[in-house]
Structure 1
Amino acid sequence: MSLDNANDIVQWIDRPQTRYLNMNIINDVNVHDIYPSHSITLTLNTERFILVGKKSSSTSANIAVNFIISNQIHRKELKIDKVDSTCENYGLLRRLYAKQMLSELSAFPAKNKKRILDIGLKYSLVSNFISILVLETLQQHIEHKIYPHQSRRKLYNDYMTCQNNKKQEELTQNQSKLTAVLNLWQTLCSCTSLQTAYQIYLNERQSYSKSPSFYFDIASYFFLQARSSNSKQSSIDAFNQYYAQSNCNISNEYQYIGLRILTNVLELELESVQLLRTVAYKLVEFGLYNLAENIFRHIVNLRSDEPQSFRDLALLLQESDSETKNLVEISDLFKKVIFGEWDKRYSEIEVTTFHELNCFIFQFHQQQQILNSIDNRLIRHLSVDLRIVMVWNTNDTDIDLHVIESTGEERYYSHKNTAIGGMISRDFTQGYGSEEYLVRKTVKGTYIVRAKYFANHQQTPTGATTIMVLIYKYYGQSNQQKEIVTL
């Protein structure tokens, strides 16, 4: 019929039309997702009407299909048998179902674009958004970024291998780019915010590139500046601190630069225990326990024949703020020092370590597991008003601890007892110490701590000896205070 004029159009509209109305499920509620999902007008002289849906039960189902023909409702009841998923036509049925879905969704292509794409890719159907490509080679699949079907096993595996290699290459390239940009950005931030001091370091570094003490002293300067700047922190500083290296507890840019400079020492001789201890002691001084722990654990592996290695790690783990600290490991490290067999030059380090173990037990005595295998006769907490401990990082070195008490009396290796009850441990002329000063009850006044570098019996290219002095006021008491100095 021609629709060239208005009368023809009106006659066509008024003409009775055949329509699919709806479908009723008679005996199986597991029939669902029916297409067409709404009433539609059927094409004139149509020979076939297709209705598709899903059926999830194992029994047959009865349905009724309703049509409007010449303004009269016609009902057709049908029985749907269970479909065998292994039959040869099963794949065709799935594609037919998908085509009916696409036909309905394509009425509003922009709105349904994602679903149309998903269905087309899943069932290999052409739509307004999908084109047909015939791909034979691996290179063609890579070029068009299309996965081969898994039935083509070798081609699929080769494609997946190429994709994984490509992802790894992209990851490596991105990481390299990030590292390069980050280095430039950090240098810019350092130069603009720290200005003069950092630039002096850069200018002098070439002349002192092989000197550990150079890096150590410059790093100490920046760490001290970090302490000062933390006391007058601005909102910008607080913002930067929140996002700056939180896993390492880096508090500000001064500390970050100090850490970068300090770790340059390790590059001079990576397996030098002297340099490792130098860096670790400085990290402990500034409370960077996580970083120091990694170094101390490495030292344990390198120097398992030295009790100082285990004692350093035990003390660090005890001081750390971690809520998950392993108390049994700390106890075992202390006991390793106390009950281990060591060279005679380390003799009596057990006494100092026993003092520290008892303080640890007193702090965590409710945890019964740390008391295992410890003789009760050895458990006695000894609190003192003043405790000074000195250790150093070079072997075969004789450094003497001197303490001038508030009364003016000097306590050292050849004058072991003073009038107010001050005591000092034995004189370690080899090894790493520790030398320890104790006084149960102090006399009010100033106490002066001195370290006398008496002799060094070893040849080393790694620079000067570093000492760490730990000063405890009210050691083992609830009001304990601690100060660490590295020189």
Structure 2
Amino acid sequence: MKLAKPLLLSFFLSIVFFAQAQMPVLKVQQTENEAQKQAVKLKKLNIDVQITGNIATTVMTMTFYNNSNRILEGELTFPMPEGVSISRYALDINGKMREAVPVEKAKATEVFESIERRRVDPGLLEKVEGNNFRTRIYPLPANGSRTIIVGYEEELGFNNGNALRYHLPLDYNQAVENFNLKTTVFESVLKPELNEQPDGSFNLKANGNTYVGEINKNNFRPKHGLTINLPKRSDLPEVQMQKASTGYYFLVNVFPKTQSRPRQWSNQIGLIWDTSLSGLQRDTKKELELLEKIIKQKQNLTIQLGLLNNGFKQAGTFNILNGNWAMLKNKLENLIYDGGTNFSAVNTQAFQADEYLLFSDGLSTFGPNVIAINKPVHTISTALKADYSTLKYISQKTGGEFINLNAVAVNDGFKQLNEQNLKFLGIKNGSDVRQTYPSVHVNINGNFSLAGILNGINTTFILQFGYGNAVVSEHEVRLNGTEHTFNSINVSRVWAQKKIAEMDIQYEANKDDISVLSKQFGIVTRNTSLIVLENLDDYLRYEIVPPLELRQEYERILKQRSTAILERKTDLLNAAVAMTKELKTWWNTEFKQDLEKKNEGYPDPGLVAIQGDVSANEQAAARRDEVMRTQEMRMTPPVGAARKAAEQTNELNEVVVVGYGSQAKQAVTGAALTRLKAEEVLAPLQGRVAGLSVQRNRVTGSNAQETKALPINRQPDIITREFKSDKAYMKNLTGKPDSAYQSYLKMRSDYISTPMFYFDVANWFYQQKDSVRALTILSNIADLDLENADLYKTLAYKLKQTGNYNDEVFVTQKVLQWRPMDAQSYRDYALALADVGQYQKALDNLYKVITQSYNSQIARRDQGIEEIVIAEINNLIARHGNKLSIKDIDKRLIQPLPVDVRVVLNWNKNDTDIDLWLTDPMGEKGYYGNSRTKIGGRISNDFTAGYGPEQFMLKKAPKGKYKIEVNYYGDRQINISGPTTVTAEIYTQYATGKQQRKVIVMPLIANGGKGNFVGEFNF
């Protein structure tokens, strides 16, 4: 399916498949049109549920209809229960469903974005932070539909009685045109019980030991969800087996009896309460109910309260007598939730206790997800979006308990905390079985299931259970491949999921094994995604093994090809060596700098004549056609290449099309169809600009490089624009910071998911010198969306500007983790490392930029980035060479390049075109069309897509005023990330001992080719 892509309106649907979750909620971002917000509806829904033993397989087929006249790009995000992962994903391609195949996550993202730019329709399902999943679909055709299939296996848990519980929420906010639900319970000795059903007509009918229920409705909005209780006999183990190439995969489900053994609570408890922005999504009512039960049980104790967001602070010591905790409860009920989350900020030196309670979603969005506590930490989660692995790891490492109040009732959670729990201790006489999971001690809550591999065809072994290390009960299990083999569930995938869940608790140590396992069994994990491609050529081009329907043809073509299929560029090293030579030549060139012959401006040539006798109407029509062609060509990276080719040909006249659509620009040839007015390109600086801050002799503020004050005629003055938002909400920020903060909290609900709201308000607090509140407000951006690189890049820029370098390192490292296919990810991380003084790591990561392997499309997009990186490598060597080992750096790249002026731009969005303009004291403007100025200024390669960067360098700066502007032509994204944000770094006396730097961060608007003023400086 190939459709034009004139405009993207991203919509976000939250699909959740378990009890306490919400059903589909449609949001259309970046539009005020209510009709567009309701443009996409769930037209068809088919749900197939199959339950065997304690495993339920749920497959949902969803058809979404776009009733607008615009092509949309879709994003479905959904959290999953603890230990559950997506194992099936399919997308309709040319009217037929195509199954996804597993691919490394970074490669899947890279391939998806590459193909998407070619206007075809890949599908991608990936795991993001925590146990949350996201699928991206393009296109949703205008007045058309798309269908996806999502499937997963779920291990069922016990309810309050002796029964397993399956729940499927069906609380839709609107009727579904075509609704079908079918449920099958296989091999159930006892009859399943319907605890909840969609509308009263659903019923399970027996066919031997199998029970089937089905409902078909039109224009149906279910009144209730589906809840099935599956009673179990404690004396009857359940065994399921699946034949493998050697032996069998098996799954055993047993129901050991538990005994009550109370545990003693400590007298000193530390209560760590997550007050980050995402805390607003937790069920604090449940959390307070659990805490009350603990206090009532202990009666007399001391609780120290610590509040955790982007920082950590003590909030008082509460002495509880006779269970009276009114003061603490009142404190907790009136907390303010604000900021990102940084687990590593917890300071236990001044927060001592014998054991701790941590209430959080486990998502550490603004710092490492580790807590340095060596006493038991009990972790409690009520959030729908949660990182269960982190919470489990913290509790297991410290000897505490993990309580998931989404999976168990508050009473059961309290029981788990208040009693010694029966645990699985291990296997006896298990020589014929291997790779059994869980392989560690785990709590038993009514039932226990074990998966593993049987070497032969049958065996008998014993499961041991106990308290501490003392065995109190044993269960004999008999495996026989001829008796227990069923085809209703994929036992091998359940085994793989159990193994992955255990390894994921220590992800970094096990990530390679997780990747191998998840690709073999088709399970989505942190580092493996599921992808659907449109045609066989794409699977061949990117060396992705296709689904079975295309496998035979794929393998046949592979055998016929003698050359490598994968389109990759090995690295940028050769280009970097050539660029180093070019920079050396440029640096050694002497340029005339006669200010007496200052360029007073370019004469207006008028409308460029079109060759031949052409009427004015024909000229106008030709211009309109060219503008439309330009708009279309802006959708693909080769625009920049075409323009650069034009610049190198004497016969071509370069012109820029401005003021149309997203301010698309394009070099055109020969008979030019328009002109660029002199005032639009070379508008001189007139007078002073309001809202400027002047800094003399040195750069002030926490982000400044420390330099000694030099005579005023030696150090340049850097004058930068003080960004002030003109949004309506800024009018409410008046008076002192305390009252302004209250105003911010009152407004926040109206802008809760708007990144620029937090950016603007944080900027205001920085200007008021309230850096603590400013950082908290700014860090909210990290909590807005899972694994959103655009948001994190914006955050990193502002952290650099404000001198929060340690936080900058964390944020840029996360972006690198998510987008290792981008050269800019390594560069941003390297520069953040340099900011904190880790110069060797900075150098190593900068060098990776030019030694990484890139696919051909990304290599073309980022052509010329080596020029910027060479300057930065040599800057590190020049300034910190005595602290560096350069033995691994190609010696051909080492070339001292000190310059008087260096300005470099970065921006946060892919597929974006931004230009750097610098006007020198002679009035000449350096920009992409005039990249070599008369006084020796040098503009790097023009990036018309990707993230940049672009750079201006001048070896010897004549005295006078230099003006910096940014021209923003637009991007091809409309999403939650908000407007494109740019950061400009202005250096004087770069790569010398007198280097100074000024950082400016500002959101941009397309400005009709007139440019956005950034700053100016005087030499």
Query: Normalization by structure 2: what TM-score?
Result: 0.27
1-side partners of 2:791 and 2:749: how far apart?
Answer: 20
Amino acid at match of 1:206: S
Partner of 2:739: 196
Rg (Cα) greater in structure: 1
- Please show how residues 305-320 of structure 1 align to structure 2 within 5 Å: 305-320=821-836
Quote the offset at 1:459 in angstroms.
3.8
Partner of 1:224: 767
2-side partners of 1:213 and 1:476: how far apart?
Answer: 34
Q: Given the alignment of the two structures, is residue 269 of structure 1 paired with residue 785 of structure 2, yes or no?
A: yes
Quote the offset at 1:258 in angstroms.
0.6
Amino acid at match of 2:993: S
- Please show how residues 200-279 of structure 1 align to structure 2 within 5 Å: 200-226=743-769, 254-279=770-795
Q: Secondary structure at the match of 1:382?
A: coil
Q: Given the alignment of the two structures, is residue 350 of structure 1 paired with residue 862 of structure 2, yes or no?
A: no
Quote the offset at 1:331 in angstroms.
2.0
- In the alignment, structure 2 segments of 5+ residues that lack a partner are 1-259, 273-290, 292-301, 308-313, 317-330, 338-732, 1003-1019
Which structure shows the higher helix fraction? Answer: 1
Partner of 1:377: 892
Q: Given the alignment of the two structures, is residue 431 of structure 1 paired with residue 946 of structure 2, yes or no?
A: yes
Quote the offset at 1:175 in angstroms.
7.2
Q: Secondary structure at the match of 1:413?
A: coil
1:366-387 deviation line (CA, Å, top 9, x unaligned): 245x211222222111010000
Quote the offset at 1:452 in angstroms.
0.9
Amino acid at match of 1:218: V
Amino acid at match of 1:177: L
2-side partners of 1:168 and 1:433: how far apart?
Answer: 54
Amino acid at match of 2:906: V
Amino acid at match of 1:483: K
Q: Given the alignment of the two structures, is residue 442 of structure 1 paired with residue 442 of structure 2, yes or no?
A: no
Partner of 2:569: none
Q: Secondary structure at the match of 1:265?
A: helix
Picking from 842, 846, 852, the partner of 1:340 is: 852
Partner of 2:843: 331
2-side partners of 1:433 and 1:271: how far apart?
Answer: 21
Partner of 2:96: none
Q: Secondary structure at the match of 1:389?
A: strand
1:395-435 deviation line (CA, Å, top 9, x unaligned): 00001111111211111101111111111001101111100
Does structure 2 retain, via aligned residues, the 8 Å contact 1:191–1:199?
no
1-side partners of 2:813 and 2:985: how far apart?
Answer: 21
1-side partners of 2:736 and 2:913: how far apart?
Answer: 42
1-side partners of 2:844 and 2:830: how far apart?
Answer: 8
Does structure 2 retain, via aligned residues, the 8 Å contact 1:215–1:261?
yes
Quote the offset at 1:193 in angstroms.
6.2
- Please show how residues 7-406 of structure 1 align to structure 2 within 5 Å: 162-163=263-264, 166=266, 177-179=305-307, 181=315, 194-226=737-769, 254-321=770-837, 325=838, 327-342=839-854, 343-344=858-859, 345-367=861-883, 370-406=885-921
Partner of 2:539: none
Change (3 A) 1:176 1:211: farther
Amino acid at match of 1:302: W
1-side partners of 2:816 and 2:267: how far apart?
Answer: 39
When the two chains are superposed, the root-mean-square deviation of aligned CA atoms in Å is: 2.8
Does structure 1 retain, via aligned residues, the 8 Å contact 2:754–2:976?
no
1-side partners of 2:303 and 2:807: how far apart?
Answer: 23
1-side partners of 2:785 and 2:921: how far apart?
Answer: 43
Q: Secondary structure at the match of 1:305?
A: coil
Does structure 1 retain, via aligned residues, the 8 Å contact 2:985–2:997?
yes
Amino acid at match of 2:803: G
Partner of 1:466: 981
Does structure 1 retain, via aligned residues, the 8 Å contact 2:902–2:952?
yes
Change (3 A) 1:422 1:192: closer
Quote the offset at 1:168 in angstroms.
8.7
1:416-467 deviation line (CA, Å, top 9, x unaligned): 1111111100110111110000111112122111111112123433210110
2-side partners of 1:295 and 1:178: how far apart?
Answer: 24
1-side partners of 2:986 and 2:762: how far apart?
Answer: 22
2-side partners of 1:295 and 1:265: how far apart?
Answer: 11
Change (3 A) 1:185 1:308: same
Quote the offset at 1:199 in angstroms.
3.0
Partner of 2:560: none
Quote the offset at 1:283 in angstroms.
0.7
Quote the offset at 1:167 in angstroms.
6.5
1:349-372 deviation line (CA, Å, top 9, x unaligned): 11211110011112222245x211
Amino acid at match of 1:178: G
2-side partners of 1:225 and 1:258: how far apart?
Answer: 9
Partner of 2:30: none
Deviates more, 1:193-202 or 1:208-217: 193-202
2-side partners of 1:276 and 1:381: how far apart?
Answer: 33
Amino acid at match of 1:480: Q
Change (3 A) 1:267 1:308: same
Does structure 1 retain, via aligned residues, the 8 Å contact 2:737–2:768?
no
Does structure 2 retain, via aligned residues, the 8 Å contact 1:391–1:433?
yes
Query: Normalization by structure 1: what TM-score?
Result: 0.56
Partner of 1:418: 933
Does structure 2 retain, via aligned residues, the 8 Å contact 1:191–1:198?
no
Quote the offset at 1:275 in angstroms.
0.4
Q: Secondary structure at the match of 1:464?
A: coil
Quote the offset at 1:166 in angstroms.
4.0
1-side partners of 2:303 and 2:736: how far apart?
Answer: 26
Q: Secondary structure at the match of 1:447?
A: strand
Matched pairs, number? 294
2-side partners of 1:191 and 1:397: how far apart?
Answer: 35
Amino acid at match of 2:754: S
2-side partners of 1:400 and 1:191: how far apart?
Answer: 35
1-side partners of 2:942 and 2:304: how far apart?
Answer: 52
Q: Secondary structure at the match of 2:877?
A: helix
Amino acid at match of 1:469: A
Deviates more, 1:427-436 or 1:190-199: 190-199
- In the alignment, structure 1 segments of 5+ residues that lack a partner are 1-157, 227-253
Amino acid at match of 2:882: Q
1-side partners of 2:267 and 2:878: how far apart?
Answer: 54
1-side partners of 2:757 and 2:747: how far apart?
Answer: 9
Does structure 2 retain, via aligned residues, the 8 Å contact 1:285–1:486?
yes
Quote the offset at 1:270 in angstroms.
2.8
Change (3 A) 1:383 1:206: same
Sequence identity, in percent?
Answer: 35
2-side partners of 1:451 and 1:269: how far apart?
Answer: 28
Does structure 1 retain, via aligned residues, the 8 Å contact 2:918–2:965?
yes
1-side partners of 2:269 and 2:315: how far apart?
Answer: 18
1:26-45 deviation line (CA, Å, top 9, x unaligned): xxxxxxxxxxxxxxxxxxxx
Does structure 1 retain, via aligned residues, the 8 Å contact 2:755–2:976?
no
Quote the offset at 1:185 in angstroms.
9.0
Does structure 2 retain, via aligned residues, the 8 Å contact 1:300–1:309?
yes
1-side partners of 2:847 and 2:994: how far apart?
Answer: 27
